[in-house]
Chains A and B, each alone.
Chain A
Amino acid sequence: MQWVPFWPRDASVTAQSIDMLTIGELALVVVILGFVFGLMIVFGLRYRRGSSADRSHLVEKTWHWEIGWTVGSLAAFLVLFVWGANMYVWLYEPPPADLEIYVVAKQWMWKAEHPGGQREINELHVPLGKSVRLLLTSEDVVHSFFVPAFRVKHDVLPGQYETFWFKPTETGRFLLECTQYCGTQHAHMGGVIVVMPQTEYARWLTIQGVHQSLAQQGEALFRKYGCSGCHDPNSTVHAPSLAGLYGSIVHLQNGETTIADERYLRDCILLGASRILPAGYPPVMPAFAGQIGEDDLIKLVAYIQSLAQTQRASR
């Protein structure tokens, strides 16, 4: 699409798809605008006062015309609706990604945590050609994570994880912006997405001087907050084992079932004994809301995630 004047760079798989949809819509918009403006101009000239145009057989109403143009334009736009809805689901229900990165927003900065424990602020390094899934949360107000070159955006809410994915197709530095008004320095809550070739990215990861992965840091916290007292396999307390929990189907106390994803784990930690905990256990878990910050929550969740991976590997 770069041949179109003023067209923004597209640097991800999804950007190209969204551009196609936009072009399709623009074409339809131009056709309809041309029709309406064209008719207005033609009628305006032809039927101006004093012109000799024939004004007999005035049509006051024909359902044929009204229904015709309505159904016609609606059908055209419904095609676009289906196209757009499909793509939306594709973007916001991420397929299994090559890389998962946690992003925490706060006034007025973006903090990213890589699985290996690398942290950055207002920058996000990602490898070229790999699908990257982001898990976003906020420490204060609603923000919005927007990378114009990738055509992706999602609001970042305090108190929950939001998620979407992208797959860069070009190396370079791309603008990251906050698009939900968040206070005085909203305009400066930006950053850069750095897309690097995979080998360079691997090298970048190693020179960050990090010794512990996110999950390892989470394990330490798991002890510090006393989680291990009950959830350790050797514990005498009847608490659910966390090995293999992530990604499994859980039967809840309220009779429903859910998949134990990041959001679920996060809610369990924060809410403690409530009806969203797995069925069959006594309601003794304390609620950690207000005691564990977003940074630590991410590590704990990453640790529980890693337990599932090691179990899968050992099986």
Chain B
Amino acid sequence: MTTLTADLPTNYLTKEHTIASWLLTKDHKRIALLFFASITFFFFIGGFAATLIRLHLVNPAGNLLQPDIYNRMFTMHGIVMVWFFLIPSIPTTMGNFFIPLMIGARDLAFPRINLGSWYLFNLSGLFLLYCLFVGGVDTGWTFYTPYSTLFANGHVIPAAVAVFVNGFSSIMTGLNFVVTIHRLRAPGMTWMRLPLFVWAIYAVSVVMLLATPVLAMTLALIAIERWMGVGIFDPSLGGDPLLFQHMFWFYSHPAVYIMILPAMGLVSELITCFARRPVFGYSGMAYALMAIAVISFFVWAHHMFVAGISIFSAVVFSLMTFFVAVPSAIKVFNWTATLHKGSITFDAPMLYALGFVGLFTIGGLTGLMVATLAVDIHVHDTYFVIAHFHYIMVGGTVSAFFGGLHYWWPKMTGRLYPEMWARVAAIVTFLGFNLTFFPQFILGYLGMPRRYYAYPPDFQVWHVLSSAGASILAVAYTLPLLYLGWSLIWGPRAGPNPWRATGLEWLTSSPPPQHNFARTPIVKAPPYQYNPADGSYVAQDGSVHA
């Protein structure tokens, strides 16, 4: 690191150089980078599993991998991507790095808990790797009973323990954010002046705090049931397998919003900055985030429409699901309206953000199809559902993650990334993504069930298209690793505010000093005071820039 930033004033990267200064750091920015390293590692493990799955499915007979290996692969892909990449992705990295900066604080409220969260995350990762090395687990990421407790021949207990521990990492992170956002806002930073990313992280932290413990308990019960050979959810011993599903989805449906809410907040930052105008309907956007966080708890049983819940409750949950779509729809329309009368540039973060809006809209609308009871009967547990949630999670969250990464890269590293390469990567991501997952909608409606290692030959053409798309996507996701890495050394120096953005994080130097601000900023303006007509803007400290 010395060579990179030697000529700069001391910042959080150059303050100390020992390994211990990283491993024992209490600086939220360094912890964010530690999380970056961990989740990137797991992203590529999960991506590797996905690659194998897509390669395997090119051939309908499915003879590349053994059935048991294939089953372990999709399980590993699910567990890794959900709990070890998507859920921690934006909050632990960009949330950790930028929440204190954006609210004008010197650090998170509990730096030690923050560091502890990273260690717990890695501990849970070790459990998962252990599980992987001793043979993996084959239950699917949903751990449905009684398969997971009685019949699975994989290593369910280490996997359950991994997710259990991971849950506490996520609780610690959420707790830190909630308390920080409540208590450490700079003077003048009222709730209605918070950037939408902060709102989103707040909403997601509430969900993490209140949903994750239920998952922890559920998985503890699964592990105990399997370990002790007792029947908590086993129907032959009086248990109710649907009770497991209720408890699992009580967490795991809100978990979908844990993944998408930070992405929504992030994209709001990007679109307003690159459209150079205030976000359309700020308060509506903020309330919509909170509404999604709350209503997401009322809809979990829409994963169980064909599972044997009562008909009446299915109707209730379907209706609630239509209601949760309302705040999401508000957000999509407001993002679109934010382009109106803007002065738009199409830099890479903006391309990712627009890609997000498009893919999220497709994912959301197909989500409403899946929420319609009768249609769900046909498409449930088919590739239609797979395509739907990948549009949300990969098309949505991962696009936003890359968008945010590019947007804040200059702030985090002090270097500019190569713009042309980044635009290429953004466009290739969008195209590759659609080629991968759009055919899966068709496959699903044709009746291709999920989690099949072999399938009727009629479906082959769609699978081949999807696999071809996946290979493009693999390239598109590797590209940033290369050129961002390149920019660390050869990238041009970034000034404090290369995007001419309004947030407090841009008021300090790039990279920021150890405690963020030389003097605690006083907030005098709402966020996003851009003027598209003359390109001027008002930063949140009230300073006017022509």
Contacts and interface: CB of A to CB of B under 8 A. Distances in A.
The reply, when asked whether chain A contacts chain B directly with Cβ atoms under 8 A, is yes
Interface of A: 6-8, 17-18, 21-22, 25-26, 29, 32-33, 36-37, 39-40, 43-44, 47-50, 53-63, 65-66, 69-70, 73-74, 77-78, 80-81, 83-89, 91-93, 107, 140-142, 144, 146, 148-149, 151-155, 157-160, 162, 175, 177-188, 289-290
A66 B333 contact: yes
Given A55-B342, A146-B449, 9 more contacts: A8-B446, A36-B358, A36-B361, A56-B533, A63-B284, A77-B325, A88-B377, A162-B308, A184-B71
B241 A153 contact: no
B329 A182 contact: no
B322 A74 contact: yes
Given A48-B344, A70-B330, A179 B449 contact: yes
A44 B62 contact: no
Given A22-B445, A61-B281, A181 B451 contact: yes
A181 B140 contact: yes
B144 A181 contact: yes
B442 interface: yes
Interface in B335-384: 336-337, 339-346, 354, 357-358, 361-362, 365-366, 368-369, 371-378, 380-382
B314 interface: yes
Contacts of B362: 33
A301 B431 CA distance: 56
A3 to B, nearest CB: 15
B138 to A, nearest CB: 8
27 contacts: A8-B447, A17-B374, A22-B375, A25-B369, A25-B375, A29-B365, A37-B358, A44-B346, A56-B533, A58-B533, A59-B280, A59-B341, A60-B278, A60-B281, A65-B333, A74-B325, A80-B368, A81-B318, A81-B371, A85-B374, A153-B377, A155-B307, A157-B307, A158-B241, A184-B67, A186-B71, A186-B451
Nearest to A90: B374
A61 B372 contact: no
A158 B307 CA distance: 12
Contact of B345 (A17, A39, A49, A85): A49
Given A22-B445, A74-B322, A157-B235, A140 B374 contact: no
Contact of A107 (B151, B369, B454): B151
B275 interface: yes
B372 A185 contact: no
Interface in B85-102: none
B214 interface: no
B339 A158 contact: no
B306 interface: yes
A185 B67 contact: yes
Contacts of A32: 361, 365
B421 interface: no
Interface in B267-290: 275-278, 280-284
Contact of A43 (B67, B71, B332, B336): B336
Contact of B532 (A7, A40, A55): A55
